[in-house]
Chain A
Amino acid sequence: MADQRVFITGMGIISAMGNGVAETLQALQQAATGIRALTLFPCPVETLLPVGEVRGLATGDDGVPRTHQLASVAAREALGDAKHVPDMVIMGVTTGGMLATENYMKEGHRQPRFSYYHAAGSVADLVAQECGCRGPVLTVSTACSSGAVGIKLALEILRRGAVRRVLVGGADSLCRLTYYGFNSLQIVDRSGARPMDRDRHGMSVAEGAAMLLLTAADHPPAGALAEILGGGLTCDAHHPAAPHPEGRGAQEAMTAALEDAGLTPGAVDYINLHGTGTVENDLAEGFALKKVFENRLPPVSSVKGSFGHSLAAAGVIEAVVAALCIREGFMPANVGWRHQDEAIGFSPLVAPLHQPVQTVLSNSFGFGGNNAALVFAHPGFREAVKARPSARTLRVRAYACITGAGGTSATLARFFRGASCQGTLAADRLTDGLPPHAVRRMKRLARMALGLSTRVVSRAGRADPVSDVYFGTAWGALSETHDFLEKLYASNEFYTSPIDFVGSVHNAPAGQVAMRARARGANVAMTGGDASFEQALTAADYLAANGRHPVLVGGADEMHPVFSALFDPSVPMGDTPADGGGMLFLETAGDASPLTLRPGYFAPGGDVSESLQAALAYHGGPRTFNDRIGAVMVGIPAACREDCAPHLDDFWGRLGFKGPLIDYRRYFGEFASASAVAAVAAMALLERGAIPGALAGGEEWPLAGRGILLLGLGATITTMLAASS
Chain B
Amino acid sequence: MDNFIEELKVQIIDTLALEDITPEDIDPEAQLVGGDLGIDSIDVLELVMMVEKIYGVVIDSKELGAQVFTSLGALGAYIQQTRNAGGAIG
**Please, how many angstroms separate the alpha-carbon atoms of A517 and B42 in the complex?**
21
Interface size class of B (residues with CB under 8 A): 20 to 34
- 1/0 contact trace for B42-54 toward A, CB 8 Å? 1101101100110
Type the 1/0 row for B11-55, where 1 means its CB is closer than 8 Å to any CB of A. Answer: 000001111110000000000000000101111011011001100
Q: Give Cα A491–Cα B52 distance, bound, in whole angstroms.
A: 12
Contacts of A496 in B (CB 8 A): 49
Distance in angstroms between the alpha carbons of A436 and B21 in the assembled complex: 10
- Is there an interface contact between B49 and A497, defined as CB atoms closer than 8 Å? yes
Asked whether, in the complex, the Cβ of A495 is within 8 Å of the Cβ of B19, the reply is no
Please determine whether A437 and B20 come into contact, CB atoms closer than 8 angstroms: yes
Q: Is the CB of B42 within 8 A of A241?
A: yes
> B64-75, CB under 8 A of A: which get 1 and which 0?
010000000000
What's the A-B contact tally at a CB cutoff of 8 Å?
Answer: 50
Q: Is A498 an interface residue (CB 8 A)?
A: yes
A229-282 with Cβ < 8 A to chain B: 239-242, 279
> At the interface, yes or no: A435 with Cβ under 8 Å from chain B?
yes
Report the minimal beta-carbon distance from B83 to chain A, rounded to whole angstroms. 18
Q: Is A440 an interface residue (CB 8 A)?
A: yes
Task: Report chain B residues within 8 Å CB of A436.
Answer: 19-20
Report the separation of the CA atoms of residues A242 and B62 in the bound assembly, to the nearest whole angstrom.
14
Identify A437's interface contact among B18, B48, B53, B65, CB under 8 A. B18
Closest A residue to B45 by beta carbon equals A498
CB pair B46–A497 under 8 Å, yes or no, is yes
By the criterion CB–CB under 8 Å, are A498 and B52 in contact?
A: no
A446: min CB distance to chain B, Å: 13
Q: In the complex, which residues of chain A have a beta carbon less than 8 angstroms from the beta carbon of B43?
A: 441, 499
Q: How far is the CB of B36 from chain A (nearest CB, A)?
A: 11
- Contact between chains at B52 and A186 (CB < 8 Å): no
Q: How far is the CA of A242 from the CA of B52 in the complex (A)?
A: 23
Which A residues between 116 and 173 are near B, CB-CB below 8 angstroms?
Answer: none
- B7 beta carbon closer than 8 Å to chain A: no
Asked if A498 and B62 make an inter-chain contact with CB atoms under 8 angstroms apart, the answer reads no
A233 vs chain B, min Cβ distance (A): 24
Residue contact B45 to A185, C-beta cutoff 8 Å: yes
Bound Cα distance A437, B36 (Å): 11
Asked whether B18 lies within 8 Å of A441 as measured between CB atoms, the reply is no
Q: Nearest-CB distance from B26 to chain A (Å)?
A: 14
Residue numbers in B under 8 Å from A502 (CB-CB) = 42
Residue in A closest to B59 when the chains form the complex, CB atoms: A186
Q: Determine the distance from Cα of A307 to Cα of B17 in the docked complex, in whole angstroms.
A: 38
A436-B19, A440-B17 known; A499+B46 contact, CB < 8 A? yes
Determine the distance from Cα of A496 to Cα of B52 in the docked complex, in whole angstroms.
11
The answer to whether the Cβ of B84 comes within 8 Å of any Cβ in the partner chain is: no
Q: Cα distance A185–B62 when bound, in Å? A: 9
Compute how far the CA of A239 lies from the CA of B38 in the bound complex, rounded to whole angstroms.
Answer: 13
Q: Does B3 contact A (CB under 8 A)?
A: no
Residues of chain B touching chain A, judged by Cβ–Cβ distance below 8 Å, are 16-21, 38, 40-43, 45-46, 48-49, 52-53, 60-62, 65
| Chain A residues within CB distance 8 Å of chain B | 184-186, 239-242, 279, 435-437, 440-441, 491, 494-499, 502
> Given contacts A185-B45, A241-B42, A440-B16, could you give 5 more A-B pairs where the C-beta distance is less than 8 Å?
A184-B45, A240-B42, A441-B42, A494-B53, A498-B42
